[in-house]
Structure formats: structure tokens, C-alpha cells
Structure 1
């Protein structure tokens, strides 16, 4: 289960990086909006990439939380102090010499 979820998580992460790089930045960046006469205008591409980014980000967050919950299952909650083996010093009884 964790392996399948981890593979999905990695695929979402790679897709998220790709979608973010395709978006047009202020300087133009790697944005490929298409021409205005084509089927998808620059504004339509921006809307599509924004929606894709939000869906991928939500999926990334969901898989991250699920993986964290699955990783924590089966562990007992314990304190660091419970794991130490420090014992309190035992007071020694004074030895009384036996009189001759």
C-alpha cells in the first residue's frame, strides 16, 4: 500500500514541477500559451494550467499526509525518559566495625 502511494506521490510531484514550469512568468519563462487563432488562447492555457496546478497541489498534499499517517502507524508512543536506563543512586548503608 505504501509503495503504491509513494509511486503516485512521486508521479504527482513530477507532474507538478512540469505544470509549474509551463506557466508563463513575468518574463515569459517556459510558457507556451499558443496563438490567439488556435483552439486554446493564451488566457485559456493560463486557466487550464492554474487549475491543473491547484489539483496537483491538492493531490500532493493529500498523498503527503496519507504517507505520514501510514508511516506513524504501529509505533507505540513513548517518552525519551522511558527509554533511558538511568537508575537512582542507592544510598549505601554505613558499615559499623565490630568491636574486638
Structure 2
């Protein structure tokens, strides 16, 4: 079920991108720079592309909510620690005291010194 909703969600996202890119630019941000039909104007004429944009946007939000509900329903109630095998306890030597502050905390590096860049052929 989640795969079907996710596929529809991705198709809606791609369709929404295409429809938004097909719309005519009004020359400014939020449609301020042109005649009618912008966000900041009174009641612009609703074209077919703007209606399609709204429909795709509503469907996109609906599939987003559906995916969230499906993920919440399918999530396990126990934690990762509860699912660990019983014999998977850490050995005692891994729980030793940390190294003293004077010791080097980094693993030993190569004994040849710094690495040289590869030779050009």
C-alpha cells in the first residue's frame, strides 16, 4: 500500500513541477510585476493551469498525509534495543577505562610519513 501511495506521490511531484514551470511569468516575485492573475492582485482570472496547479497541490498534500499515517501505523512499538539478540552483550574489555589525556587518541598511522601525491604518467 505504501509503495502505491509513494509512486502516486512522486508522479504528483513531477507533474506539479512541470505545471508550475509551464505557467506564464508575470515578471516579478509572487506575480507582482504584471497585469492580472497574480497572488497580490484582487481576484485574478483562474486559468486552466492555475486550477490544475491547485488540484495537484491538494493531491500532493493528501498523499503526504497518507504516507505519514501509513508510516506511523507501520512503525514498531518497541525500540531497537528490545530487538537485539539476547547474547549480543558487549565484552568486558570494551568497557575498559578510557585512555589517559596524555596518550594519543588517534590510531597509529603509516610509518613512512605523509602520503605523497600519485606520480603523473
2:12 — aligned with what? 12
User: What TM-score results when the alignment is normalised by the length of structure 2?
Assistant: 0.46
Cα shift at 1:65: 0.3
Structure with more relative contact order (C-alpha pairs < 8 Å, separation 6 or more): 1
Q: Deviations over 1:55-97 (max 9, x none)?
A: 000000000000001001143388xxxxxxxxxxxxxxxxxxx
Q: Deviations over 1:15-37 (max 9, x none)?
A: 0000000001123xxxxxxxxxx
1:76 — aligned with what? 77
2:63 — aligned with what? 63
User: What TM-score results when the alignment is normalised by the length of structure 1?
Assistant: 0.55
Task: List gaps (5 residues or longer) in structure 1.
Answer: 28-43, 79-100
Q: 1:77 to 1:48 in 2, by over 3 A?
A: farther
Q: Distance in 1 between matches of 2:78 and 2:26?
A: 49
What's the RMSD between the two structures over aligned residues?
2.4
- Structure 1 residue runs of 4 or more that deviate by more than 3 Å after TM superposition: none
* Larger-gyration structure (1/2): 1
Aligned residues: 63
